[in-house]
């Protein structure tokens, strides 16, 4: 898709990206604009009116910024993406995001093309995926593998992101204890309703660090009927196990800030596999203590059963 979009770029872009303009079919379109892409991005009145053309235009605009880091288009990119949300379904935007990701992995663009997605995307799946990828791909600061995570955290804390809970969920789903230390205090920025993102943002390959993060969080909460957080965090533990695609937990650190080669790297030396029963036994005492602390009806009883253990209190409500 990136190659297809090259025809939309003008002739003066850096790195040779702006090449011969599109095919005859595009030129015959009522939306066709022969000007270089930066000029098109800046002129809101000339943005494509046809939805399919606008998707192509938006993808080209993000890719252009990912190649050139042209500061003159920054002001328009967020508005372009916000209009994209109004004019497309989530599935279309996920396909567009996947095309950008593929272009990054092939070395065509930089991960700063993700910034409008991180800031403006409302779909939890897309925004959380972008946050996770950004942490893995952001390699502009070679001496700080956590630089990408720190940038995403700024968007959460500053309230700059439309779906800050999804960004938090993406950082959580990384399963890297270094990132978890950074977001430990950030969790206080989220209200109880936003915490449902934790249950949605799972990779299917959970790290033990994710279990530790949620259990430790629960241990700081009251667990009474007036506690709006306890049930949400406990539900995150349930879904962490229920959505597992493999019969084990991972341990160890991720290749943060590795850039486009992250998919080619071998697992870190610290990465290990821990089967579900061993993982459950490692946390059993703490899970049972949380079950005893919680006022009925106990969500922790469901958590314990999901981990393959036997609850010590009767389950009193239908499953979540």
User: Model confidence over 218-256: pLDDT tens digits?
Assistant: 999 999 989 999 999 999 999 999 999 999 999 999 989
Tell me, yes or no, whether 289 lies in a domain: no
Tell me, yes or no, whether 3 lies in a domain: yes
147-163 residue pLDDT tens: 999 999 999 999 999 99
pLDDT of residue 22: 42
Closest Cα partner for 289 from 225, 216, 233, 181?
216
Phi, psi (deg, nearest 5) at residue 308: 85, 15
Mean pLDDT, the chain, integer: 87
pLDDT of residue 12: 38
Tell me, yes or no, whether 17 lies in a domain: yes
Token pair, residue 270, equals: 């610290």
Token pair, residue 154, equals: 């700024």
CB 295 within 8 A of CB 230: no
CB 196 within 8 A of CB 264: no
Tell me, yes or no, whether 315 lies in a domain: no
Q: DSSP secondary-structure letter at 184?
A: T
| Residues near 51 by beta carbon (within 8 Å), at least 6 away in sequence | 87, 88
CB 196 within 8 A of CB 233: no
CB 260 within 8 A of CB 105: yes
Sign, Cα dihedral of 169, 149, 254, 214: negative
Q: Is 236 helix (H, G, I), strand (E, B) or coil?
A: helix
Tell me, yes or no, whether 235 lies in a domain: no
Concatenated DSSP letters for 113-170?
GGHHHHHH---HHHHHHHHHHHHHH--SSTT-TTHHHHHHHHHHHTT-STTHHHHHHH
Q: Which domain holds residue 116?
A: 1-120
Q: Is 59 helix (H, G, I), strand (E, B) or coil?
A: helix
Tell me, yes or no, whether 260 lies in a domain: no
CB 32 within 8 A of CB 57: no
User: How far is residue 267's CA from residue 61's CA, in Å, rounded to a whole number?
Assistant: 34
pLDDT of residue 118: 97
Closest Cα partner for 202 from 246, 229, 169?
169
Tell me, yes or no, whether 45 lies in a domain: yes
pLDDT by 10s per residue, the chain, length 320: 334 444 433 333 444 444 333 434 444 555 556 788 999 999 999 899 999 999 999 999 999 999 999 999 999 999 999 999 999 999 999 999 999 999 998 989 998 999 999 999 999 999 999 999 999 999 877 789 999 999 999 999 999 999 999 999 999 999 999 999 999 999 999 999 899 888 889 899 999 999 999 999 999 999 998 999 999 999 999 999 999 999 999 999 998 988 887 777 777 766 789 999 999 999 999 999 999 999 999 999 999 999 999 999 998 764 44
**CB count, 10 Å around CB of 288?**
17
| Total domains present in the chain | 1
Tell me, yes or no, whether 92 lies in a domain: yes
CB 80 within 8 A of CB 37: no
């Amino acid at each position: 898709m990136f190659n297809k979009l090259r025809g939309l770029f003008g002739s003066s872009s850096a790195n040779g990206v702006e090449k011969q303009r599109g095919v005859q079919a595009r030129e015959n379109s009522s939306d066709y604009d022969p000007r270089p892409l930066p000029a098109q991005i800046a002129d809101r009145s000339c943005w494509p009116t046809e939805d399919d053309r606008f998707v192509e235009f938006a993808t080209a605009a993000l890719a252009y910024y990912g190649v050139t880091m042209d500061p003159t288009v920054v002001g328009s990119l967020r508005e372009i993406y916000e209009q994209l949300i109004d004019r497309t379904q989530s599935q279309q935007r996920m396909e567009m995001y996947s095309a950008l990701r593929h272009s990054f992995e092939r070395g065509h663009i930089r991960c700063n093309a993700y910034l409008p997605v991180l800031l403006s995307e409302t779909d939890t799946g897309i925004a959380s995926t972008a946050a996770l990828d950004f942490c893995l791909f952001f390699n502009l600061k070679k001496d700080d593998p956590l630089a990408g995570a720190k940038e995403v955290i700024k968007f959460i804390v500053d309230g700059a992101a439309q779906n800050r809970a999804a960004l938090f969920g993406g950082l959580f789903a990384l399963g890297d204890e270094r990132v978890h230390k950074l977001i430990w205090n950030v969790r206080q920025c989220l209200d109880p309703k936003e915490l449902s993102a934790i249950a949605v943002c799972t990779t299917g390959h959970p790290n033990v660090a994710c279990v530790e993060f949620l259990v430790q969080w629960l241990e700081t909460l009251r667990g009474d009927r007036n506690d709006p957080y306890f049930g949400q965090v406990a539900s995150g533990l349930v879904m962490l196990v229920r959505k597992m695609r493999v019969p084990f937990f991972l341990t160890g650190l991720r290749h943060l800030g590795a850039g486009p080669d992250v998919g080619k790297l071998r697992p870190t030396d610290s990465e290990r596999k821990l089967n579900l029963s061993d993982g459950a036994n490692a946390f059993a005492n703490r899970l049972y203590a949380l079950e005893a602390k919680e006022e009925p009806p106990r969500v922790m009883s469901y958590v314990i059963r999901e981990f393959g253990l036997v609850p010590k209190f009767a389950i009193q409500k239908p499953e979540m």
